[in-house]
Amino acid sequence: MNLIKIIYLHFYPFEIFRYASLYYGNGDQCELAKKPRVVEVKLRCSTRNNKSHVPTMYLVEPESCSYVLGIESPVFCNIIDYTDENGIPDVEKVMKHFEES
């Protein structure tokens, strides 16, 4: 699959949802739709006040052979802060942040 990009900062009336959205295309051929499979992976910063570091995940298929995988965790908050316009985290900055924490 080919990575295609993008970082989003979405504003909603009562909360700010920050997430990095990565698109993967040109996957395995889908017999049903007769086209390659695609997936959008949303890494969302979760700011819930629970102490659990267990991520929340979901998978939907909005149309045949096109998927959205969402993963929500406080871990992504710092990663998103150090992600470039192509959706790629600066590993050195991320590691430095976690070492200082």
pLDDT tens readout for residues 66-99? 999 999 988 787 777 787 766 677 778 877 877 8
- Residue-wise DSSP of the chain: -EE---EEEEEETTEEEEEEEEEEES-SEETTTTEE-EEEEEEEEP--S-S--PPEEEEEEEETTEEEEEEEETHHHHHHHTB-TTS-B-HHHHHHHHHH-
Q: Where are the domains of the chain?
A: 2-100
Q: What is the pLDDT of residues 15-64, one digit of tens each?
A: 566 777 778 888 899 998 899 999 988 888 887 766 666 788 999 999 99
In the prediction, which pLDDT does 65 show? 94
Apex CA 95: angle with CA 80 and CA 74, to 5°? 40
Please give the class, per CATH, of domain 2-100. Answer: mainly beta
